[in-house]
């Protein structure tokens, strides 16, 4: 979930080669939360700064699903306070868009079952 079409396109390009991956994109938190719930997704890549609700506002609800997805926060605002808040709400990783973008695939492979990635 990211409000930037360029970021979503870059993520889709990175993740598009994962075997068996079904990829969905959302441009705001509400749309993303509804999509994650409807599709029972295995993983979510979540931006913090989006129109309407922030990614932080839906992190708790995502992790509250009966089968919660792996959630990686990928943000351009990687403050220590945001990191602590996200990890306290259950984020599985907190990543800086400027430095960690390419680690997303590696981290997904490490966190998800082999038949998913």
Tens of pLDDT along 40-89?
889 999 999 888 888 899 999 999 999 999 999 999 989 999 999 999 99
Q: Domain for residue 17, yes or no?
A: yes
Evaluate whether 38 touches 25 at the Cβ level (below 8 Å).
no
Domain that holds residue 48: 5-111
Residue with tokens 């979540």: 46
Entry pTM? 0.87
Q: Domain for residue 97, yes or no?
A: yes
**Residue 35: pLDDT band with limits 50, 70, 90:** very high
Domain of 17, CATH number, reads: 3.40.50.2300
Query: Alpha carbon of 81 to those of 43, 62, 68, 75: distances in Å?
Result: 23, 20, 24, 13
Q: Domain for residue 117, yes or no?
A: no
Q: Is the dihedral of CA 64, 70, 76, 81 positive or negative?
A: positive
Q: Total domain count for the chain?
A: 1
Look over the chain and give the mean of its residue pLDDT values, rounded to a whole number: 86
* DSSP code of residue 78: -
Q: Domain for residue 85, yes or no?
A: yes
Complete edge-to-edge strand list for the sheet that includes strand 43-46: 43-46, 70-75, 93-96
Q: Domain for residue 33, yes or no?
A: yes
Tokens of 82: 């945001």
Q: Domain for residue 116, yes or no?
A: no
Q: Domain for residue 15, yes or no?
A: yes
């Amino acid at each position: 979930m990211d409000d930037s079409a360029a970021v979503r396109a870059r993520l889709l390009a990175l993740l598009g080669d994962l075997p068996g991956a079904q990829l969905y994109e959302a441009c705001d938190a509400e749309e993303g939360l509804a999509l994650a719930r409807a599709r029972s997704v295995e993983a979510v890549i979540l931006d913090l700064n989006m129109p309407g609700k922030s990614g932080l506002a839906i992190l708790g609800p995502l992790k509250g699903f009966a089968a919660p997805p792996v959630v990686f926060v990928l943000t351009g605002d990687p403050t220590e306070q945001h990191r602590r808040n996200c990890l306290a709400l259950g984020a599985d990783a907190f990543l800086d868009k400027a430095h960690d973008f390419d680690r997303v695939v590696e981290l997904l492979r490490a966190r998800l079952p082999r038949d998913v990635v």
